[in-house]
Amino acid sequence: MKLRSLSIFLVSFLASQFAFAQDTSVEKAAISELPSLLAIYKDIHAHPELSTREEKTAALVAKELRAVGCEVTENFGKYDNPNTKCYGVVGIMKNGAGPTVLVRTDMDALPVEEETGLPYASKVTTKDDNGREVHVMHACGHDAHMAAFIGTARALQRMKDQWSGTIMFIGQPAEEAVGGARALLKGGLYNRFGKPDVALGFHDKHDLQTGHIGVTPGYTYANVDSVDVTVRGIGGHGAYPHKTKDPIVLAAEMINAWQTIASRENNPIDPVVVTVGSIHGGTKHNIISDEVKMQLTIRTYKPEVRDRVLAAIDRIAKGIASAGGVPPDRAPVVSISKDQYTPSTYNNPDLTKRLIQVWKKALGPDNVEIVDPTMGGEDFSEYSLPDHAIPAVDFHIGAVDPEKIAQFKKEGKELPTLHSSKFAPVPEPTIKVGIIGMTSAVLELMKSK
């Protein structure tokens, strides 16, 4: 009996030592803040706000940063549309001489009706920019990011004897709509508060187990380009195709030919995605329409690949129209949106390597994973521009119960992804690991000599 309880004690003791091993001061700081952070998390989760409307969320983040002694600037940032107020929050925590490290959380939620069944599920509805009534949900986990971000600020305030320099805490609006990071930079973030030496961000991950940190050295998110193509033909009667130039047939040819950009024009080791997400043309069975409109999303990593793919979209569209006999003055109009472009996110390989060692020490070596990059987009990349000149790392926080991952795998089902109405991070230990991951990274970069 005694032996058995001793062995149980030993196993649980070792397990706890193993789980969050050596950096006990960081873990202690995280744990002591958890009860109040979980309350903040549930409050934010239940009261989500859409992109560019993060008024109350930003005020909460600002209040929390002020409470830990940051100099806080609210309503910071400038969108292209001067009528849209920017709810950016900048909190500067100064602690003597040393480097400046940027720590970012996003704050916005999505127009999704929550179906998680959680007791603190969002019931919020609002009118979107088109006047439609929509539900609002933190379906991307930005609420968990904010809780971990506040926890990080609290931990670093408590541990001021262990670091020196300046921390630039950023509460960023409009990550989902794209434009939040750019609005902060356009508003003069680096002119007013100084250029950081390093930028750090984190995001929860729908298929990574809670308790784990995941990270990808090098490219981790893609360049995202939005392209609009208008195929202009010559319309007419559906029974007399020879009197027309049918833009629907031309559009169909373009869609297929664009797929050969990835398969035939591109070095296979460079990922490329060409997706036609929207196509509209015509009104009726027996009318050949004058035009077809398409909306494409293009994903790449390297700038030169991006340039080549975008040029190929244009060249192929115009070439097919020309081959189909469309006169030059009716050539397709291909426009690449500058506003909706998100640059690829590049995790500085040396910095990533250094942080992996830090996290392995803080969480245990088995709790840090190298994960595959994705072709998703993240405007965190803006903080390290131009050309990734400011070293940056955007890492993943595991957010899902490992038993749930195993069960879904066994049943051959896909886990609810980010943006799903059924996605919500397990708050604990996800938030704690977020705090430990971010705090230990900052301490490594700013440790007092």
Chain position whose Cβ is nearest to Zn ion = 140
Q: Which of residues 108-167 bind Zn ion (CB under 5 A)?
A: 140
**Looking at beta carbons only, is 77 or 180 nearer to Zn ion?**
180
Active site residue 428: yes
Q: At its nearest, how many Å lie between Zn ion and the CB of residue 106?
A: 6
**Looking at beta carbons only, is 100 or 223 nearer to Zn ion?**
223
**Distance, CA of 236 to CA of 242 (rounded, Å):** 9
Active-site residue (options: 74, 341, 382, 403): 341
**Looking at beta carbons only, is 193 or 346 nearer to Zn ion?**
346
Active-site residue (options: 55, 113, 369, 428): 428
Lookup: tokens for 316: 């192929």
**Looking at beta carbons only, is 140 or 250 nearer to Zn ion?**
140
Q: At its nearest, how many Å lie between Zn ion and the CB of residue 108?
A: 8
191-209 in b/e form (b: 16+ CB < 10 A) is eebeebbbbbbbbbbbbbb
Cβ pair 141, 434 in contact under 8 A: no
Active site residue 113: no
Cα diameter, the chain: 94
Q: At its nearest, how many Å lie between Zn ion and the CB of residue 129?
A: 18
Q: At its nearest, how many Å lie between Zn ion and the CB of residue 86?
A: 18
How does DSSP classify residue 197? S
**Distance, CA of 156 to CA of 186 (rounded, Å):** 28
Distance between the two ends of the chain, CA-based, in angstroms?
51
Q: At its nearest, how many Å lie between Zn ion and the CB of residue 433?
A: 17
Lookup: tokens for 288: 């050949």
Q: Is 435 in the site for Zn ion (CB under 5 A)?
A: no
Task: For residue 189, give Cα distances in angstroms to 43, 163, 183, 260, 406.
Answer: 29, 23, 9, 42, 44
* Pairing between β-strand 133-135 and β-strand 213-215 as defined by DSSP bridges: unpaired
**Looking at beta carbons only, is 281 or 377 nearer to Zn ion?**
377
How many residues in the shown chain lie near Zn ion by CB under 5 A? 1
**Residues labelled catalytic:** 341, 428
Q: Give the residues lining the site for Zn ion (CB under 5 A).
A: 140
